[in-house]
Amino acid sequence: MRLKKSIVIIFITLIFALSACKKAGSDAVVANGGFDDGASSWTTEAYYPDDCVLDVVSDPEHGNIAHIRTDDLNDARFIQQIPVEENTAYRITCIVRTSGVEDGAGANIGVYGVAACSRAVTGDSGWQTLEFVGKTVSGQKTLAVSVGIGGHGSLSKGEAWFDDVKIEKAHDDAKIEAVFGTAAPAKSSDDTKKVPTEFPTNDILIWCGAATLLFLLLWLIHVLLAQKPMNVTAKGGGVWIAVILIIALAVRVALSLIFYGHKTDINCFTHWGYRVIRSGPAHFYEQWCDYPPGYMLILGAMSWINDLVGGNADIHALMVKIPCIIADLGCAYLVYRYAVKTMNRKAAVALMAVVAFTPVMAYVSSAWGQIDQALAVTLIVPILLLYKRRPIWAGLVYGLGIIMKPQALMCGPLFAAAYLLYVIKGNPYEQFSMKKGMARLFRVKKDSVKLRFFETVAAVIAAFAVIILVSAPFRGDQGTFWLVEKYYGTATSYEYATVNAYNFWALIGANWKKVDVPFMGLTYGKWGTLFMAASVIVSIGLYVLAVVRHKRCKGALPLTMAYLLTAIFTFGHYMHERYIFPALMLLMFAYVFYNDWRVLVTYVAYATTMLVNCAAAFYYSKLFEYGLYWDERIIYWCSLANVALFIWFTYVTIDLTLRNKPLRGYNG
């Protein structure tokens, strides 16, 4: 009997032992985390591999340690793929010492490939502990732990030493700072298809061509309907409006589910959203982020909703796209509301469909997952508010645009000119009313330069107020001018003539060329600065001439603002492929106001070249790991098309602003 009991006890003990061994064996472990065996189990990666040192050196106190030195701005690191469990929180730690580390993400520990890392260690520091806590997602099997200097889009320089890299499961009450990855792709029966051997130029052109054909069909329907005279008594169209918006929404949701999105951008957005709600705004910028605070609040709200519904990584990716999907649909409906005042209702509905199914809009917001349409809204809405004599509200909305994306600042000089002319000449589009704005507040009974001046001052205050109020919670321990430094750092973080923007510089072979490269007596950067300054001066000049020479020219401000953005995109430096994107909505409203078919043709042409440019840039970001960077043919021809299109647009803009004689596009 005792023997049987002993056997049972031994059997149960063995079961528990095996279970414990199995559990222990499943824990994530950093191999050679102390670098005692040199760099074995680790790989190295650097943005500029020839300008840095990554090696293992001996230290009297710690033995072998990892060492990184980069004398110029770089992103250099040691990386190790660690087997992990899905939907599990992990804490990654190491110790670090630095010497002269400056700028960017500093020395850090993080996860390679998702732009997530710990706080930055800069300057000269003794040994200290770094830790970073995050959670894996459904289907995730590995985690790329990295220690290094700098980060994606946040390059640093200096010298750092790392040791004792460890990973362990985090406690249930640990503060999750990041989502560590995306779901593992499903296994394919033919794994060789997963390794591309050439840039997919033909696929890009075929899909872009197919989408553009549908786009052109909608444009043709609008053109045919626009020939019919306007009937002010006609009603209806509500069903078609609802159908168009529902189908446009379905298309975008489908694209969001098919495409996870631009991996770096989406992972940044999901990571930043979680950081806002879990670390709090005051500690948000202790880690790298090259965006201003405005959109971070929206990302935080989306992350909170994702947690509330128990969403996974794919649902979270969809959540961060929803605000710009809404912006897409909102822009389409806004076009209808203004178009129906100037053309017959059927043509206005068709024009709304053109906007709702503009391929590049759906692609950027839903397949890529970027926020450029939100910026477009904060540029067109202030123009419409200014026309309705609501200058203070216009200033407030423009301030929201600035705090969401720095590119809004490019339109600042033109908005300043518009407000100056508003003060001097008044608003010819909306009659003065004692029941609006400051006139109602101060019981002013007559319009005057003095009243318009105070309205403009109040608009500027409103813009600054929204910037200060939104950014204040994010300041933390940063200096007084931290936001100015953030904007400057963002604007100059990619010091290249062009970064996949198919423009004049890409046409002459300067894509990803440093701005300090000499060109015709100056550098790319100096030429770009001169061209950008000229773009601002010419755009302001054309707008002022249009307003001074002609009594009613609503289209002048959106037209010249679109021209400003296209000019800066075509000849400015530091440009990315999407910096021209807001010009589309500005062009559409210029068409509605001017009734000139040439403006609509310009919209269609730019929407087509933007789609090719964005698709090529998207696949470049996906394929560089295979050594497939870009196809020079697609860069050359798309860049040539953009330069030629800009020349055409220059002619159209000059003709409309100086002569104000549109070539009618519809019977209004």
Query: 171 near 29, Cβ under 8 Å?
Result: no
Q: Between 232 and 521, name the one with better pLDDT.
A: 521
Collapsed DSSP state (helix, strand, coil) of residue 39: coil
pLDDT of 125 reads 92
**100 lies in a domain?**
yes
Q: How many whole angstroms separate alpha carbon 533 and alpha carbon 531?
A: 5
Task: Pick the range with the lowest mean pLDDT from 52-61, 194-203, 475-484.
Answer: 194-203
- For the chain, what is the mean pLDDT? 87
Mean pLDDT calculated for residue range 289-316: 88
Q: Between 7 and 662, name the one with better pLDDT.
A: 662
Same domain, 166 and 261: no
Owning domain of residue 393: 201-659
Q: Which amino acid is at 541?
A: G
**19 lies in a domain?**
no
**32 lies in a domain?**
no
Collapsed DSSP state (helix, strand, coil) of residue 343: coil
pLDDT of 162 reads 96
Residues 6+ apart with CB under 8 A from 204: 612, 615, 616, 619, 634
Same domain, 114 and 231: no
Alpha-helical regions (H) of 259-364: 263-279, 294-309, 313-339, 345-356, 359-362
**225 lies in a domain?**
yes
pLDDT of 181 reads 63
Same domain, 129 and 205: no
The pTM (predicted TM-score) of the whole model is 0.82
pLDDT of 321 reads 95
Cα angle, residue 618 at apex, residues 614 and 619 outer, rounded to 5°: 125
**Residue 615 is inside which H or E element, if any?**
helix 597-623
pLDDT digits (tens, 9 = 90+) for 322-356: 999 999 999 999 999 999 999 999 999 999 999 99
DSSP for 55-90 reads EEEEETTTEEEEEEEEEEEE-EEEEEEEE--TT-EE
pLDDT digits (tens, 9 = 90+) for 138-150: 778 888 899 999 8
**101 lies in a domain?**
yes
**17 lies in a domain?**
no
Query: 457 near 395, Cβ under 8 Å?
Result: no
Same domain, 207 and 170: no
**Residue 486 is inside which H or E element, if any?**
helix 482-491
Same domain, 141 and 231: no
pLDDT digits (tens, 9 = 90+) for 243-294: 999 999 999 999 999 998 888 888 889 888 988 988 889 988 887 788 999 9
Structure tokens at 68: 């990184």
**665 lies in a domain?**
no
Q: How many whole angstroms separate alpha carbon 351 and alpha carbon 344?
A: 11
Q: How far apart are the first and last CA of the chain?
A: 103
Considering only CA atoms, which of 368, 346, 347 is closest in space to residue 359? 368
Domain boundary residue, one of 183, 210, 241: 183
pLDDT of 628 reads 64
Considering only CA atoms, which of 611, 608, 545 is closest in space to residue 577? 611
Q: Which residues of 474-486 are buried (b: 16+ CB within 10 A; e: fewer)?
A: bbeeeeeeebeeb
Same domain, 288 and 157: no
Structure tokens at 607: 């929407």
Q: Which amino acid is at 288?
A: W
**668 lies in a domain?**
no
156-169 and 107-111 as β-strands: parallel, antiparallel, unpaired?
A: unpaired
Same domain, 177 and 262: no
DSSP for 225-277 reads HHTSPP-TT----HHHHHHHHHHHHHHHHHHHHH----HHHHHHHHHHHHHHH
Same domain, 209 and 151: no
Query: 299 near 269, Cβ under 8 Å?
Result: yes
Same domain, 351 and 416: yes
Q: How many whole angstroms separate alpha carbon 650 and alpha carbon 10?
A: 87
Of the ranges 36-50, 132-146, 242-256, 415-429, which is most confident?
242-256
Collapsed DSSP state (helix, strand, coil) of residue 17: helix
Same domain, 225 and 355: yes
178-179 and 123-135 as β-strands: parallel, antiparallel, unpaired?
A: parallel
Domain boundary residue, one of 123, 149, 183: 183
Q: What is the CATH number of the domain that holds 116?
A: 2.60.120.260
* Total number of domains constituting the chain: 2
Cα angle, residue 259 at apex, residues 207 and 300 outer, rounded to 5°: 140
Considering only CA atoms, which of 467, 158, 474, 181 is closest in space to residue 312? 181
Same domain, 176 and 217: no
Domain boundary residue, one of 128, 152, 183: 183
Position 583 pLDDT exceeds 70 = yes
pLDDT of 25 reads 40
Please give the radius of gyration of the chain, using alpha carbons only, rounded to the nearest integer: 28
Query: 162 near 64, Cβ under 8 Å?
Result: no
Q: How many whole angstroms separate alpha carbon 539 and alpha carbon 306?
A: 43
Same domain, 82 and 230: no
Cβ-based neighbour number of residue 417 at 10 Å: 19
Q: How many whole angstroms separate alpha carbon 542 and alpha carbon 660?
A: 11
